[in-house]
């Protein structure tokens, strides 16, 4: 997809968790302007605004060497705004727009003006505010630009517009979630961003309950359509008109509204927020939460989309000199273990596996953990157990099961319920690269820079880490543990 010289700015509804590393305005880089606070994701990877309000539905943008995350506040009364030149430190600004019933949209920059499209939640219609700057949009100047015609589209749900310039046809496209009567992605076109014409939908799917926060884009000769339906789904086609083939999900359902992304012309980055879905620990649901780890989309040759954490964040974490000495804190709880600090290696030498327990020095630690795990047999499995106890009787399991081609986050007890699990076949033969972020009440895990797992958790009573190998031998190499600074109550 070519975007002309006009850059599409996606207004992002960002979801963040209370940062223990908020800094005052004087610490903000000078080019970030009106910073209220600065959040450092190398000390807390999950963002929330400084006032603790929850966020939903991110839609990011990149222009002039700066990444922007505009975000809906969870009460739908403001569009929040964060910026970063380095993807590690994020300046939080005053809300870009304040009002009532403000739902998902897009911001487009054109001829030095900024066009904020958004959904009026009560009426399910699409509105526009135009500004001469990206910091302030006056909702009093809002105008209605699109609504369902009750012929092609029902008024039931007509929302979440995505706007981009389609170079081939020399006009602007708007893609909203709609009903006709099945779930569909609608299409409108415009020459000036002000007057819009309705057309037939580009996509319909009777099996979907929702097609929220859609985005349409081209990558390596394929067109992709992404949308949200209790998980982020994506479809592929040869043209933006379809026909579309469902390819699956590329996020966990607990990290929602991650179907919008931004590009700097080299890569595509996205964010999502931790939705309140029912879990083995909690039965209620709700909107809004902290923002998850930023991630880069990985496009494989067969059209499958994977995700990996931001390289800038990982580099910042690795640059810290004071990582935890895992080799000094490791104790074999069961099985036979070789602990070799000189080779940066833990090796389970028992055919049945065993448990290696790490007595971390801080109470209720929040951390990033990374290791490469090589399995001696296809029957071997590995669980990295978070927030466990000295007695190894509770915690949360990040599991890797090559034999069943499954990964997941589960309860501690044997056969415990899954928070999230998905099919995954190791792409590196007998070895897997695991990266885990645990901070506050959130866990995110990335496998081989291809697959992600996200979950909200409740129990923070255990402060130890464990690795459990079953079904054979395995080697854990190059482990690293970096403390975050988040603390409950901040």
Q: How far apart are CA 177 and CA 9, in angstroms?
A: 19
Residue 154, pLDDT score = 94
Residue 190: Cβ-neighbour burial (10 angstroms; 0-12, 13-18, 19+): middle
| Average pLDDT score over the chain | 89
Residue 212 lies in a domain: yes
* Proportion of the chain above pLDDT 90, given as a percent: 78
- Whether residue 215 sits in one domain with residue 72: yes
- Whether residue 331 sits in one domain with residue 277: no
Return the CATH number at 417.
2.60.120.560
Residue pLDDT, tens place only, 171-206: 999 999 999 999 999 999 999 999 999 999 999 999
Which strands, in side-by-side order, build the sheet including 330-334? 330-334, 353-358, 464-470, 381-388, 396-401, 406-411, 418-423
Which residue do the tokens 């580099």 mark? 315
**Per-residue pLDDT at 414 exceeds 90:** no
**Per-residue pLDDT at 384 exceeds 90:** yes
The domain total for the chain is: 2
Residue 19, pLDDT score = 34
**Per-residue pLDDT at 467 exceeds 90:** yes
Residue among 37, 44, 51 at smallest CA distance from 19:
44
Q: How far apart are CA 292 and CA 169, in angstroms?
A: 36
Choose the final residue of a domain: 314, 336, 357.
314
Q: 389 near 412, Cβ under 8 Å?
A: no
Show the domain range for 357: 322-483
Residue 246, pLDDT score = 94
Q: How far apart are CA 461 and CA 358, in angstroms?
A: 15
Q: How far apart are CA 383 and CA 411, in angstroms?
A: 11
Residue 488 lies in a domain: no
Residue pLDDT, tens place only, 299-356: 998 999 999 999 999 999 999 877 889 999 999 999 999 999 999 999 999 989 999 9
- Whether residue 347 sits in one domain with residue 372: yes
Residue 393 Cα distances to 388, 389, 416, 466, 471, angstroms: 7, 6, 13, 11, 20
Residue among 227, 286, 279, 235 at smallest CA distance from 453:
279
Out of 249-253, 439-443, 444-448, least confident range: 249-253
- Whether residue 331 sits in one domain with residue 289: no
- Whether residue 179 sits in one domain with residue 57: yes
Q: Rounded mean pLDDT of 16-20?
A: 32
- Whether residue 329 sits in one domain with residue 289: no
- Whether residue 84 sits in one domain with residue 121: yes
- Whether residue 261 sits in one domain with residue 119: yes
Residue 265 lies in a domain: yes
Residue 1 lies in a domain: no
Residue 490 lies in a domain: no
- Whether residue 373 sits in one domain with residue 291: no
- Whether residue 292 sits in one domain with residue 428: no
Residue pLDDT, tens place only, 470-487: 999 999 999 999 999 754
Residue 37 lies in a domain: yes
Instruction: Record the tokens describing residue 193, joined without a space.
Output: 């961003």
Choose the final residue of a domain: 314, 333, 361.
314
Q: 473 near 7, Cβ under 8 Å?
A: no
Residue pLDDT, tens place only, 221-237: 999 999 999 889 999 99
- Whether residue 246 sits in one domain with residue 189: yes
Return the CATH number at 88.
2.115.10.20
For residue 221, what are the contacts with CB-CB under 8 A and spacing of at least 6?
A: none
Contacts made by residues 196-203, CB under 8 angstroms, sequence distance 24+: 196/145, 196/146, 198/146, 198/149, 198/152, 198/153, 199/152, 200/152, 201/152, 201/153, 202/175, 202/240, 202/241, 202/242, 203/235, 203/242, 203/244
Residue 489 lies in a domain: no
Higher pLDDT: 7 or 125? It is: 125
Q: How far apart are CA 157 and CA 219, in angstroms?
A: 29
Choose the final residue of a domain: 314, 349, 380.
314
Higher pLDDT: 366 or 9? It is: 366
How would DSSP label each residue in 168-235? TTTEEEEEEEEESSSEEEEEEEESSSSS-EEEEEEEEETT-S--EEEEEEEETTEEEEEEESSSEEEE
User: What value, to the nearest 5°, has the Cα angle with vertex 409 and ends 388 and 227?
Assistant: 145
Could you count the other beta carbons within 10 Å of the beta carbon of residue 269?
20
- Whether residue 353 sits in one domain with residue 274: no
Q: Rounded mean pLDDT of 238-247?
A: 96
Q: How far apart are CA 265 and CA 276, in angstroms?
A: 33
Residue 2 lies in a domain: no
């Amino acid at each position: 997809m070519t975007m002309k010289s006009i850059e599409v700015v996606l207004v992002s509804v960002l979801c963040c968790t209370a940062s223990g590393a908020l800094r005052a305005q004087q610490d903000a880089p000078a080019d970030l302007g009106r910073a209220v606070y600065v959040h450092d994701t190398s000390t807390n990877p999950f963002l929330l605004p400084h006032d603790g309000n929850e966020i939903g539905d991110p839609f990011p943008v990149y222009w002039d060497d700066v990444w922007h995350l505009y975000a809906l506040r969870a009460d739908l009364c403001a569009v929040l705004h964060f910026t970063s030149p380095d993807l590690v430190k994020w300046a939080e600004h005053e809300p870009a727009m304040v009002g009532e019933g403000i739902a998902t949209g897009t911001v487009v920059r054109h001829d030095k003006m900024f066009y904020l499209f958004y959904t009026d939640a009560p009426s399910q219609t699409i509105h526009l505010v135009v500004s001469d700057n990206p910091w302030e949009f006056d909702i009093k100047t809002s105008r209605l630009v699109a609504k369902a015609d009750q012929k092609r589209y029902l008024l039931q749900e007509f929302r979440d517009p995505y706007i981009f310039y389609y170079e081939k046809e020399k006009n602007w496209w708007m893609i909203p979630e709609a009903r006709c009567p099945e779930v569909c992605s609608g299409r409108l076109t415009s020459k000036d961003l002000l007057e819009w014409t309705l057309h037939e939908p580009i996509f319909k799917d009777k099996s979907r309950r929702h097609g929220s926060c859609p985005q349409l884009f081209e990558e390596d000769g394929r067109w992709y359509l992404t949308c949200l339906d209790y998980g982020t789904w994506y479809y592929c086609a040869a043209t933006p008109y379809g026909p579309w083939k469902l390819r699956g999900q590329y996020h966990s359902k607990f990290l929602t509204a991650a179907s919008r992304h931004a590009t700097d012309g080299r890569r595509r980055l996205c964010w999502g927020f931790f939705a309140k879905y029912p879990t083995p620990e909690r039965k209620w649901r709700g909107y809004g939460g902290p923002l998850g780890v930023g991630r880069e989309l990985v496009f494989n040759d067969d059209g499958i989309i994977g995700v990996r954490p931001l390289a800038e964040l990982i580099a910042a974490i690795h640059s810290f000199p004071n990582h935890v000495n895992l080799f000094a804190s490791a104790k074999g709880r069961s099985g036979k273990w070789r602990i070799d600090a000189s080779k940066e290696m833990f090796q389970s030498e028992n055919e049945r596996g065993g448990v290696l327990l790490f007595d971390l020095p801080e109470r209720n630690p929040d951390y990033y953990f990374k290791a490469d795990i090589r399995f001696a047999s296809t029957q071997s499995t590995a669980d990295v157990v978070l927030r466990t106890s000295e007695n190894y009787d509770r915690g949360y399991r990040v599991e890797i099961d090559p034999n069943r081609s499954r990964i997941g986050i589960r309860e501690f007890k044997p056969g415990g319920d899954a928070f999230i699990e998905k099919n995954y076949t190791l792409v590196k033969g007998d070895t897997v690269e695991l990266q885990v972020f645990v901070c506050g009440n959130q866990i995110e895990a990335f496998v081989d820079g291809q697959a992600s797992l996200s979950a909200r958790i409740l129990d923070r009573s255990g402060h130890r880490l464990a690795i459990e190998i079953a079904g054979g031998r395995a080697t854990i190499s190059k482990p690293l543990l970096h403390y975050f600074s988040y603390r409950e109550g901040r």
